[in-house]
Amino acid sequence: MLDHGRARVLVRPGRTPADPVRRAVGLRRTISLIAVLLVSILLADVVILVRLDGLGGMDGLDGPGGMARAGGPGVRRAYGHGQYVAAAERATGDRPASGTPEPSGEPGKSGDDAAGRGDAADPVAPLKQLIRPHLFVVSAHPLAPDVVARVRSQKGVKAAEVTDAAEVHIDGKRVQTMGVDPSTFRAYTPSKTAGSDGLWQNVAAGDVAVSFELGHDGGVKLGSTVDGAGLRMRVGAYATVGMGSIAAMVSRRTARSLGIPEGNAMVVSAPDVDSAKLRRRLLKILPKGSQVATINPVVVAPRGSTAWPASAFMSSQQLQVALRAAVGKVGRPYAWGAEGPNSFDCSGLVQWAYRQAGVRMPRVAAQQWATGPQISLSQARPGDLLFWRNDPTNPRYISHVAIYWGDGKMLHAPRTGDVVKIAPIYTKNLAGVVRVSPAVSARVR
């Protein structure tokens, strides 16, 4: 354990179908980051919700529950389509603005070092181009300038952005968070996020932007304010970047005030090279213990083969174990970021259940999507995985996973306020079905 001031740094790097388990045929954690403690949610600032430009025509969320509600005093609820950003209206009362010290008599440390909404935020440069990210690098310590230079000089690397990375407790949840330069990092994000000047100005002003999944499934409300060691950060936007398990962004200036290690991560764009091979090269030049995750991983069929042999998939016994493990958790509460054994989020349930069968699954749904070949829903068998793209801030991102149970039903952990359950499959925004290959699953990074 290392001590970075206030940061605690941890390197870790209806009727149920009749016994569908018997009809079944046929852990690695995602990138580990660094822990920084923050505490409870407070409400501050008078805010309104505005929709990002250019998002008309996108369908809203599917499934039970629909679009997440943004709430709290001073927040006008907004439902419908598209990505949302909170816009501040200056409060004339005595409530302190985001990024300012706690009122007299309340515990906490001054947030003067952070970009506060009471001060003018640094201007954010306009978006000039989009840069597709391919690899996410994280280390326990700041990356030395010569290491950064060597990464950038690798054959095929077109661009690389230095960032900060830490695991921050937000609303009682361990949220993997990045400290970024809003002017330059925006180019690496999905087009709808990258193009929102308001979103990036909010981040520059000291707000935190959280993933839509953390907001919708995790219950972190848009416009609410999180307090950490006296530094109050408003949740200024929902924005999913789709990089490993990163679920929140702050400015690098705010990251310094939170005690997040500086410059210990990078986002790399290398469109013309094999990401797996580049990953191996980078691991050789990065500090010991560094990790490199593939962004948007894809499944490659076995070498020299056009078909997957039956031996590539989970055995009947493994499927029975995984299904029995999962159904044994029916009724347990959903908790965003939870990995069991008493509470789960959607991908945490999948990872835990399949681990009981000896299958090493990656941590997040977007990576579990790459654990085997895609098949049609009509071919699904109990134990296959179902995936959805429910995130309007990143429409191509895999945001939910469930286990196929049989007879048109699935077993999943839906969202905050709900429990692990067996439910009918819904097909709106269904991305596809994956048959898990243990060998492939173990290699997904």
**Dihedral of the alpha carbons of 278, 284, 288, 289, in degrees to the nearest 10:** 30
Q: Based on the domain organization, do 285 and 363 belong to the same domain?
A: no
Q: Based on the domain organization, do 325 and 250 belong to the same domain?
A: no
Please state the domain count of the chain. Answer: 2
pLDDT > 70 fraction of the chain, expressed in percent and rounded: 70
Range list of β-strands (E), 205-274: 208-210, 224-228, 231-238, 248-251, 265-269
In this prediction the pTM is 0.71
Residues 6+ apart with CB under 8 A from 208: 170, 177, 226, 233, 234, 235, 236, 248, 249, 250, 254
- 305 within a domain of the structure (yes/no): no
Write down the pLDDT at residue 326: 97
Write down the pLDDT at residue 230: 59
| DSSP code at position 429 | T
Q: Based on the domain organization, do 124 and 273 belong to the same domain?
A: yes
- 51 within a domain of the structure (yes/no): yes
Chain segment 185-214, per-residue pLDDT in tens: 999 999 889 999 999 999 999 999 999 988
Chain segment 78-134, per-residue pLDDT in tens: 323 334 788 644 333 333 344 433 333 333 333 334 444 445 677 999 999 999 999
Write down the pLDDT at residue 276: 84
**CB 45, CB 225: distance < 8 Å:** yes
Chain segment 364-383, per-residue pLDDT in tens: 898 899 899 999 999 999 99
Q: Based on the domain organization, do 270 and 316 belong to the same domain?
A: no
Chain segment 339-369, per-residue pLDDT in tens: 999 999 999 999 999 999 999 999 889 889 9
The whole-angstrom separation of Cα 61 and Cα 221 is 16
Residue 323 has pLDDT above 80, yes or no: yes
The whole-angstrom separation of Cα 148 and Cα 146 is 5
Residue 158 has pLDDT above 50, yes or no: yes
User: Which range of residues forms the domain containing residue 333?
Assistant: 310-443
Angle at 436 between CA 392 and CA 420, to 5 degrees: 60
CA neighbours closer than 13 Å in the CB half-sphere of residue 349:
35
Q: Based on the domain organization, do 287 and 319 belong to the same domain?
A: no
Residue 376 exposed, middle or buried by CB count within 10 Å (0-12, 13-18, 19+): exposed
Element (H, E) at 356: helix 346-356
The whole-angstrom separation of Cα 80 and Cα 321 is 41
- 109 within a domain of the structure (yes/no): no
Return the minimum-mean-pLDDT range out of 165-169, 205-209, 402-406. 165-169
Nearest C-alpha neighbor of 99 from the set 259, 238, 230: 230
Residue 282 has pLDDT above 90, yes or no: yes
Chain segment 254-280, per-residue pLDDT in tens: 999 888 899 999 999 998 888 888 999
Which whole number is the average pLDDT over 168-186?
Answer: 90
- Residue 45's alpha-carbon distances to 49, 87, 96, 121, 206, in angstroms, are 12, 10, 8, 16, 13
Beta bridge partners of 250: 179
Write down the pLDDT at residue 202: 94
Output 171 or 108, whichever has higher pLDDT. Answer: 171
Residues 6+ apart with CB under 8 A from 293: 30, 31, 135, 136, 138, 243, 244, 445
- 52 within a domain of the structure (yes/no): yes
Return the minimum-mean-pLDDT range out of 94-98, 220-224, 401-405. 94-98
328 — pLDDT class (breaks 50, 70, 90):
very high
Chain segment 23-74, per-residue pLDDT in tens: 343 322 222 332 222 222 111 212 222 223 332 222 322 333 332 333 333 3
Q: Check which CATH number belongs to the domain holding 352 and give it.
A: 3.90.1720.10
Report long-range pairs for 305-311 (Cβ below 8 Å, ≥24 apart). Answer: 308/372, 308/373, 308/435, 308/437, 310/26
Write down the pLDDT at residue 108: 38
